[in-house]
Amino acid sequence: MAPASTLVGPPVAVAFNADPKPQPKPTYGSFPDYPSDKNSSMDEDSPAPGPATEKEVGRPLAYASSGDPCVDFFFQIVPGVTSDADLAALLDAAWSRDARTALKLVCHLRGVRGLGKSDRDGFYAAALWMRACHPLTLAANLARFGCLKDLPEILYLGRLNKEAQLAQAALARYATDEAFRHLYDRVADTFAELLKSDIEHLRAGDTAKIGLEAKWCPSLRSSYDRSTLLCEAIARRIFPRESNQEYLNLSNKHYTYRVHNQLRREVLVPLRKVLELLEEAFQKRDKPRVSGFFDEVRTGHARVAACAVLPHDMIAEALKGEHDGAAELQWRSMVSALAARPIRPVFRGWPPTPRCVLALGLLISELSQEPWKGRVITFEETHQLHKLHGANLKVKLQPLVAALGPRKKGANLQGVFSKILSTAVAGRLRKDMMVKRVFVLSDMDFDGWAGPAAAWVTEYQSISNQFSAEGFAEPEVVFWNVGTSKASMPVVAAQEGAALVSGYSKNLVRLFLEADGNLTPATVMAGAISDPEYDALEVFD
């Protein structure tokens, strides 16, 4: 679709005579060169190759980097914890290493179609960095990932305050910033094409085919529209000047105001009316139908979608007793969807973000096989083994909520695995019943342990040695960072039998349900961005 030749802006912009300068690219700190992670097998008698290491006094050796900046980015971005500056630094290093992989990881942050971490704010921060450093790549790929709401949001970032200044700044930037104009036109084209299609479906009476474009398109004179003038651009594309003789008789300014109002009156209002977007009003009017739907789900005659809700949000509703019926059904739906390939088994730690760990710990424990199903270990002095059972989420979570409390800095990871071994030995478990994969949900801050060799082995190496000494196969360990963007690296990117992940999304659990072959941090990261949707992403600048 051919873009509109110019933008006019609202009447208030005419009286405002400013000369805003194009915004310069933000600068970020310099980043060290990361050595290769090849030949990364670790030996106690030789220094660890690949990434640099750092050691605190009295604490075990850990890595400052995995040796692969892309793996570092994948592991160290935590929703609500990682600052925009830290994210930009990690992304800059990852982009320098492998731009296309870094682009995929940025899109994986959003992943609203069940493909990623559902970290909206992290995705927006990364998109802001791309808007400054790689605007053509952002423009070419933005519509492929996320949802339509993201399109105006990306344009909206960095907004000013006053309406006249907003309009004038948008006009000036559109006129002078070629990269921004290219991105802007792509966003406007996308909305215009989809809205025109929805109007055709509405006129044909085929309302089932109407999408959510009208929901996520900015409303006229909304904060989005005032700072981007996006509604004007969309209106010009839906109602081009040459499509109506009456438009040709108007000045450019009055033509713009006319189609601006037509967008609201003839497109957004009727489409939004069909969509019935107000959820509160819907539930108030249709409460019996909502209750009946829940009954159908319980009897197996209907399904409830859980893909858009994060596990910790579900348990928050259950613990508060608000919408607990929906939360219970969403939880069961999620567990059923993930349980097709159960795992054996799960243990977890105690981070600064307890609600998220409560949810992920419960979810993974329910996917585990007997005799470990429904069991977790907490990072306490005695390393309690908890059995989670009950008729609903609130009851299942009670043992963990009761155990929740302040802990001293540093969790004794080795004590957790000692508990696993002692439990297996006491229960006389066969080797095929032993833990196959251990999930460590933590802030990656672990205490050291006694012994002269402790200063020269990592947590993972020590765990492997313990299991081997008892005659069990070396377990796979998933280090799941849920608490900090400054996490040390327990292992390097090429370390077999280990994985490094971060965030709160249940989609990451699926990576390990479907994992085959040797597990390494690098292969897990690659698996997370291996869906066909990621293959369509391309780097242009």
| 328 shares its domain with 439 | no
| 414 shares its domain with 303 | no
| In a domain? residue 451 | yes
| 347 shares its domain with 448 | yes
Residues of the chain above pLDDT 70, percent:
65
Rounded distance, CA 476 to CA 495, Å?
11
For CA atoms 421, 369, 397, 361, the dihedral sign is positive
pLDDT tier for residue 268 given thresholds of 50, 70 and 90: very high
Beta bridge partners of 63: 53, 489
pLDDT tier for residue 323 given thresholds of 50, 70 and 90: low
- Residue 302: pLDDT above 60? no
pLDDT recorded at residue 20: 36
Total number of residues shown for the chain: 541
| 317 shares its domain with 446 | no
pTM above 0.85, yes or no: no
Q: Which of 294, 313, 318 is nearest to 393 (CA)?
A: 318
| In a domain? residue 134 | no
User: What are residue 84's phi and psi, to 5 degrees?
Assistant: -60, -35
pLDDT tier for residue 352 given thresholds of 50, 70 and 90: very low
| In a domain? residue 497 | no
Q: Domain of 371: which CATH number?
A: 3.40.50
| 318 shares its domain with 364 | no
pLDDT digits (tens, 9 = 90+) for 450-480: 333 343 345 667 777 777 878 887 778 888 8
| In a domain? residue 380 | yes
DSSP codes joined into one string, 413-443: HHHHHHHHHHHHHHTT--GGGS-SEEEEEE-
Q: HSE-up of 187 (CA within 13 Å, CB side)? A: 33
- Residue 341: pLDDT above 60? no
| 242 shares its domain with 372 | no
| 237 shares its domain with 294 | no
| In a domain? residue 471 | yes
Rounded distance, CA 287 to CA 397, Å?
29
Instruction: Confirm if 229 and 9 have CB atoms less than 8 A apart.
Output: yes
| 353 shares its domain with 474 | yes
pLDDT recorded at residue 75: 94
- Residue 209: pLDDT above 80? yes
- Residue 147: pLDDT above 60? yes
| 309 shares its domain with 404 | no
Range of the domain at 395: 342-484
pLDDT recorded at residue 18: 39
| In a domain? residue 320 | yes
pLDDT recorded at residue 523: 93
User: What are residue 175's phi and psi, to 5 degrees?
Assistant: -80, -30
| In a domain? residue 204 | yes
CB atoms within 10 A of CB 284: 10
pLDDT recorded at residue 41: 36
Instruction: Confirm if 534 and 101 have CB atoms less than 8 A apart.
Output: no
pLDDT digits (tens, 9 = 90+) for 91-146: 999 999 999 999 999 999 988 666 788 888 899 999 989 988 999 999 999 887 77
- The amino acid present at 198, given as its one-letter code, is D
pLDDT recorded at residue 27: 35
- The amino acid present at 87, given as its one-letter code, is L
Q: What is the mean pLDDT of residues 420-429?
A: 80
Rounded distance, CA 123 to CA 325, Å?
31
- Residue 529: pLDDT above 90? yes
Rounded distance, CA 213 to CA 268, Å?
9
Torsion of CA 167, 169, 175, 178, to 10 degrees: -120
| Total structural domains within the chain | 3
Q: What is the CA radius of gyration of the chain?
A: 27
| 477 shares its domain with 349 | yes
| In a domain? residue 76 | no
| 264 shares its domain with 379 | no
